[in-house]
């Protein structure tokens, strides 16, 4: 039995990378490649061709461990762009877009020199200020017109970003919940953001039961938030949803999802 | 050349005859036949006269004349029968049958005379004319039976006689038989007699059953029904026609059973349930035979039987008092099974439908859902059976196998069976001898299991037997070389790891002597087999300790290796030295929680080898016992609740890889599959072993997705794909 798809027909946008902005014109003439490369040079550390995020840095940012060594390139870039925490939709959206240029492959937290120049050339930014402005304004449209597939790609990216270099197959439940309420909840999809807050609450409260989330469970959230009604009336636990969603729906229907403000 | 043509035979020249004269001749003859004065008639002449008439195209008028004659005759007969009204209908039947016999005889003769008429006129126009004999019957039927009171009164008379016979009077059966034959000849038996007979019977039995059902108990009532059925069968045989038998049976079954089914089935004093309870074999047989007439009754019987057995079993399984003793519980359950099997065989004609119903009923309460420890109890029962050393338990083993087949999860039983079997195999010194003989009960049981569940199920169990056998051979070799150096009677069972239940690694610290033996064996084994690793499981073993008391008495204690280690601690110390549990634990390496378990039989009031007080344990200097040889090692018993949980989780763990293997097996051949199809297939594959829950399957699928054996389709969330 296949479930009936009740997907809202999304406009097939050719690309999600280039929201045409009026403001962009101002920068058009001034783009200079050397400035762009110089910017990249500022943030390289050991590896001269890649901007790297260490697992340590991520943990430090999330307050999981004290800082032991100077922040790495990507971490500094994030700070200089004005993002206090790495779990920020605008910032992740920017990283995702840089990597998404190489279509299909989603790597983890690393920006290659080529990607950097290519992307900055495309959006014609060569200073931090321009870049900051561009990120802020493009993220406003984030996810609005995405297809399910694009959303899934973004989810996969987030997952791999959080895993970082330590190649595990799953992320902590707390981490997933933080991603949900700090990143997914801020997207412009109303249903998805409502679900994500609920789901984050559920995860926070059931950390002991569900200790970690794997990529499959994480990605299915996109399907879940797309196909399931807000009152979960069309949810059937006999369908192929992972167990955690069965539990989630049961939890919601028990009325436990009182509007707890997420952390 | 032409043959001389044969001489021509000409038909005799028919003379022109006088029709009136001819008819007068025939008419007189017919009258004579009717009045039984036919002995001096010349049939040749009559036949020729009729022949001539037909030949000269007077056939039709001849036919009409004969018809008139017959009609007149029938009317005369009717008048004659109805005349002696004054003495009632008593003699009526006799008159009717006599008249009928004479009439049919006469008609036969006339028909012979008119043979040529039959052959020509009638044959050429079968629509307008009937043969003379048939014509005679039709006329009699229409004019005498249906057209006058004769028919009604005959019927009334016959029914009256039947009623009289039912009430126990003797009646002239031949008289009824004659009437029935007449009606049958006239082909109006069904219409004239059978129908009214069935209606009156139905009324009769309705009234009868009404008055009987309250007055008598169900078995009595059924016996009456049986007698009635027999009587009716005789009646049909004596003077009714065969087709009536089935109809009258249906009527009795309808009136006496269907309308009182509720009472027969549910009567609280003597109904079906009560008969089952009290093993009323012959009464049940009566009931089954009566019910067999009507398929819907049989269906009702089966339904009731099933629910009765199920509720009986359920009350049994839920009874905590009975379930306290597993062996007794299973024994009672087997008795229950035997009881109902006997009933099915003896009373219900071994009807396969009822055997199936019995199985279904048992499955309702004995499949391990209601009583989750069914498998464990069954294995314990088997254990006690095996230890009892009784011979010829073939039937009991068959019953146990039957009970095993009812279990939903055969792997649970396998687990317990293997645990108990391993204890039996390891605890008995002479096991290797028994194992080698084909006829021992253990072997017989395994063979039966193999028959039911296939080779795979028993291969590990057979491996266990084989290990025990091979160990004996290995030990013989070992003893040849090392006997003199050991100083102990030392025996090792070499167990193949994958065949036996999994055991926790042991921390037991063996006494020095034993340790030496182990080392010697290890050296020997390593030299014989290359690349095999030995892990010692001393806590599975047992041994004989000879205790020499200071007062000169001497006892042999048969106890487990752990107990030997504990006793060894007391060997070196003073009589009143007290050992705490912690001290014992650190000296012997046995975890504290196990110390208590091992000490219990040593301190029990039956033995009191060790004395326990609040400070700890010390040995009993004044130990006394009637026999010099004591068995201290405990036999397998019912698990504690905690152990049950352990076993459950262990089985749960064991199932995970089995489910995953099934999923991978299916996906490997199908490549892509929807979630619910997959769950269905997995359940189908695993059903012989156990029934996995869909939730568990889903969890396994998720785990396989996580480990990248499968992937979820990007577009269709319920479609899974196999990743090679």
Question: A138: which 2 tokens?
Answer: 């493009």
CB B692 within 8 A of CB B685: no
Helix (H) or strand (E) holding B343: helix B326-346
Task: Spell out which residues of chain B touch residue A163, defining contact as CB-CB under 8 Å.
Answer: none
A133 touches chain B (CB under 8 A): no
Mean pLDDT of A133-145: 73
| Per-residue confidence band for A23, with pLDDT thresholds at 50, 70 and 90 | very low
Residues of A within 8 A of B712 (CB-CB) are 216, 219-220, 240
The pLDDT assigned to A11 comes to 38
Residues of B in contact with A215 (CB under 8 A): 706
List, for chain B, all residue ranges whose pLDDT scores fall below the cut of 50: 1
Instruction: Please indicate if any CB of chain B lies within 8 Å of the CB of A147.
Output: no
The pLDDT value given to residue B5: 63
How many other C-beta atoms can be found within 10 angstroms of the C-beta atom of residue A74? 22
Q: Which residues of B touch A217 (CB under 8 A)?
A: 702
| CB pair distance less than 8 Å for A240 and B676 | yes
Closest-CA residue to B189 (of B219, B145, B125, B255): B145
A242 touches chain B (CB under 8 A): yes
Distance separating alpha carbons of residues B219 and B213, to the nearest angstrom = 10
Contacts 24+ apart (CB under 8 A), B537-542: B537/B495, B537/B503, B537/B506, B538/B506, B538/B508, B538/B510, B538/B514, B538/B562, B539/B503, B539/B506, B539/B508, B540/B422, B540/B426, B540/B503, B541/B426, B541/B493, B542/B426, B542/B427, B542/B633
Q: Cα(B540)–Cα(B68) distance, rounded to whole angstroms?
A: 112
Over its C-alpha atoms, chain B yields an Rg (Å, rounded) of 47
Indicate yes or no: CB of B706 within 8 angstroms of CB of A169.
yes
- State the pLDDT at residue B428: 65
Which residue of chain B comes nearest to A237, CA vs CA? B695
Residue A112: what are its φ and ψ, rounded to 5°?
-85, 150
Q: Average pLDDT, stretch A136-148?
A: 72
Residue B101: how many CB atoms within 10 A of its CB?
13
Task: Tell me if A238 and B676 make a contact (CB, 8 A cut-off).
Answer: yes
What 3-state class would DSSP assign to B619? strand
CA distance B697 to chain A (A): 10
Q: What percent of chain B has pLDDT over 90?
A: 1
Q: Is A130 on the interface with B (CB under 8 A)?
A: no
pLDDT band at residue A144 using 50, 70 and 90 as cut-offs? low
C-alpha–C-alpha distance, residues B378 and B403, integer Å: 8
**B401: CB partners within 8 A, 6+ apart:** B445, B448, B449, B452
Sign of the torsion angle spanned by Cα atoms B659, B664, B667, B673:
positive
**A-B contacts (CB, under 8 Å):** 53
CB nearest A214 (choices: B674, B694, B706)? B706
Q: pLDDT value at position B436?
A: 62
Shortest Cα distance, chain B CAs vs residue A209, angstroms = 14
CB distance B520 to B482 below 8 Å: yes
- Measured in angstroms, the CA of A223 and the nearest CA of chain B are apart by 7
Residues of A in contact with B676 (CB under 8 A): 1, 238-240
Structure letter (DSSP) for residue B307: H
Q: What is the tens place of the pLDDT at every residue in A63-90? A: 667 777 677 777 777 777 777 777 777 7
- Picking from B717, B718, B719, B721 by the largest number of A CB atoms within 10 A of its own CB, the best residue to mutate is B717
Helix residue ranges per DSSP H, B118-190: 123-124, 132-139, 149-166, 173-185, 189
pLDDT of residue B11: 63
Q: A151 contacts in B (CB within 8 Å)?
A: none
Interface of B with A (CB under 8 A): 674-676, 694-695, 698-699, 702, 705-707, 711-712, 714-720
Q: pLDDT tens across A36-69, in order?
A: 777 787 777 777 777 776 666 666 776 667 777 6
Residue for token digits 């008139």? B68
ipTM of the modeled complex: 0.71
Q: What Cα–Cα distance (Å) separates residue B368 from each residue in A23, B358, B644?
A: 73, 17, 14
Q: Flag if A2 and B674 touch (Cβ within 8 Å).
A: yes
pLDDT in the model for residue A16: 39
pLDDT, residue A25, reads: 44
Spatial separation of the C-alpha atoms in residues B692 and A187, rounded to whole Å: 41
Most B CBs within 10 A among A10, A212, A216, A249, hence the mutation to make, goes to: A216
How far does the CA of residue B665 sit from the closest CA of chain A (Å)? 19
Question: Residue A159 above 80 pLDDT?
Answer: yes
């Amino acid at each position: 039995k296949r479930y009936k798809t009740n997907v809202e027909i999304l406009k097939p946008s050719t690309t999600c990378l280039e929201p045409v902005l009026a403001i962009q014109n101002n920068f058009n003439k001034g783009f200079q490649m050397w400035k762009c490369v110089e910017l990249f040079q500022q943030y390289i550390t050991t590896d001269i061709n890649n901007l790297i995020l260490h697992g340590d840095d991520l943990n430090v940012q999330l307050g999981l461990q004290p800082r032991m060594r100077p922040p790495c390139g990507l971490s500094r870039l994030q700070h200089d762009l004005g993002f206090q925490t790495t779990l920020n939709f605008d910032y992740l959206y920017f990283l995702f877009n840089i990597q998404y240029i190489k279509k299909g492959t989603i790597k983890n937290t690393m920006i290659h020199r080529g990607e950097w120049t290519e992307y900055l050339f495309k959006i014609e930014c060569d200073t931090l200020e321009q870049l900051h402005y561009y990120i802020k304004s493009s993220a406003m449209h984030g996810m609005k017109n995405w297809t399910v597939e694009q959303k899934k790609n973004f989810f996969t990216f987030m997952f791999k970003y959080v895993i970082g270099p330590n190649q595990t197959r799953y992320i902590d439940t707390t981490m997933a919940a933080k991603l949900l309420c700090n990143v997914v909840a801020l997207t412009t999809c109303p249903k998805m953001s409502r679900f994500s807050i609920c789901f984050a609450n559920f995860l926070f409260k059931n950390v002991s039961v569900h200790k970690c989330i794997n990529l499959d469970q994480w990605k299915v959230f996109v399907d879940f938030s797309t196909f399931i009604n807000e009152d979960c009336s069309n949810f059937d636990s006999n369908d192929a949803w992972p167990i955690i969603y069965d539990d989630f729906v049961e939890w919601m229907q028990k009325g436990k999802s009182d509007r707890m403000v997420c952390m | 050349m032409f043959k001389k043509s044969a001489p021509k035979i000409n038909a005799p020249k028919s003379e022109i005859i006088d029709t009136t004269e001819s008819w007068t001749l025939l008419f007189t003859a017919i009258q004579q036949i009717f009045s039984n004065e036919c002995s001096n008639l010349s049939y040749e002449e009559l036949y020729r006269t009729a022949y001539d008439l037909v030949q000269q195209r007077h056939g039709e008028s001849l036919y009409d004349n004969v018809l008139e004659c017959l009609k007149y005759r029938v009317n005369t007969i009717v008048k004659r029968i109805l005349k002696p009204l004054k003495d009632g209908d008593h003699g009526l039947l006799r008159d009717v049958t006599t008249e009928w016999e004479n009439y049919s005889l006469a008609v036969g003769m006339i028909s012979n005379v008119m043979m040529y008429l039959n052959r020509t006129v009638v044959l050429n126009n079968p629509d307008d004319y009937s043969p003379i004999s048939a014509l005679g019957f039709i006329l009699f039927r229409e004019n005498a039976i249906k057209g006058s009171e004769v028919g009604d009164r005959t019927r009334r008379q016959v029914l009256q006689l039947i009623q009289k016979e039912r009430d126990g009077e003797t009646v002239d059966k031949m008289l009824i038989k004659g009437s029935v034959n007449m009606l049958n000849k006239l082909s109006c038996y069904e219409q004239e007699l059978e129908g009214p007979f069935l209606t009156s019977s139905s009324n009769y039995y309705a009234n009868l059953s009404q008055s009987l059902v309250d007055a008598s108990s169900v078995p009595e009532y059924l016996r009456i029904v049986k007698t009635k059925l027999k009587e009716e069968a005789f009646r049909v045989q004596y003077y009714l026609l065969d087709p009536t038998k089935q109809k009258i049976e249906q009527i009795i079954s309808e009136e006496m059973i269907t309308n009182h089914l509720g009472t027969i089935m549910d009567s609280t004093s003597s109904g079906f349930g009560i008969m089952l309870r009290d093993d009323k074999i012959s009464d049940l047989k009566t009931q089954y035979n009566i019910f067999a007439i009507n398929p819907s009754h049989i269906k009702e019987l089966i339904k009731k039987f099933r629910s009765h057995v199920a509720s009986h079993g359920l009350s049994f399984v839920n009874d905590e008092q009975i379930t306290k003793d597993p062996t007794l519980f299973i024994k009672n359950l087997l008795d229950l099974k035997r009881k109902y099997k006997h009933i099915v065989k003896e009373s219900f004609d071994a009807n396969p439908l009822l055997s199936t119903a019995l199985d279904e009923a048992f499955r309702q309460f004995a499949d391990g859902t209601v009583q989750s420890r069914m498998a464990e109890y069954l294995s314990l029962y088997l254990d006690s059976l095996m230890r009892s050393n009784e011979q010829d338990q073939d039937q009991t083993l068959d019953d146990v196998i039957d009970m095993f087949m009812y279990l939903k999860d055969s792997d649970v039983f396998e687990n317990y069976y293997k645990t108990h079997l391993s204890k039996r195999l390891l605890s008995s010194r002479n096991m290797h001898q028994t194992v080698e003989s084909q006829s021992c009960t253990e072997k017989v049981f395994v063979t039966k299991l193999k028959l039911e569940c296939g080779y795979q199920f028993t291969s590990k169990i057979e491996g266990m037997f084989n290990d025990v056998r091979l160990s004996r051979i290995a030990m013989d070799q070992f003893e040849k070389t090392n006997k003199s150096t050991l100083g102990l009677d030392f025996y090792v069972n070499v167990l193949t790891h994958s065949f036996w239940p999994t055991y926790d690694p042991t921390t037991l610290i063996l006494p020095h002597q034993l340790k030496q033996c182990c080392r010697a064996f290890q050296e020997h084994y390593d030299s014989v087999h290359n690349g095999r690793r030995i892990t010692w499981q001393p806590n599975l073993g047992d041994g004989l300790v000879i205790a020499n008391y200071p007062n000169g008495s001497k006892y042999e204690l048969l106890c487990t290796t752990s107990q030997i280690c504990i006793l060894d601690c007391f060997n070196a110390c003073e009589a009143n030295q007290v050992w705490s549990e912690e001290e014992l634990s650190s000296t012997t390496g046995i975890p504290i929680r196990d110390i208590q378990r091992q000490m219990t039989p040593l301190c029990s009031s039956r033995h009191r080898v060790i004395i326990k007080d609040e400070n700890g344990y010390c040995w009993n200097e004044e130990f006394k016992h009637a026999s010099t040889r004591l068995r201290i090692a405990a036999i397998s018993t019912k698990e504690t609740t905690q152990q049950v949980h352990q076993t459950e989780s262990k089985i749960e763990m064991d199932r995970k890889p089995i489910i995953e293997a099934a999923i991978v097996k299916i996906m490997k051949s199908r490549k892509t599959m929807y979630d619910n199809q997959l769950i269905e297939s997995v359940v189908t594959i695993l059903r012989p072993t156990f029934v996995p829950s869909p939730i568990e399957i889903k969890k396994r699928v998720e785990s396989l997705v996580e480990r990248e054996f499968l992937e979820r389709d990007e577009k269709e969330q319920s479609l899974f794909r196999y990743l090679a």
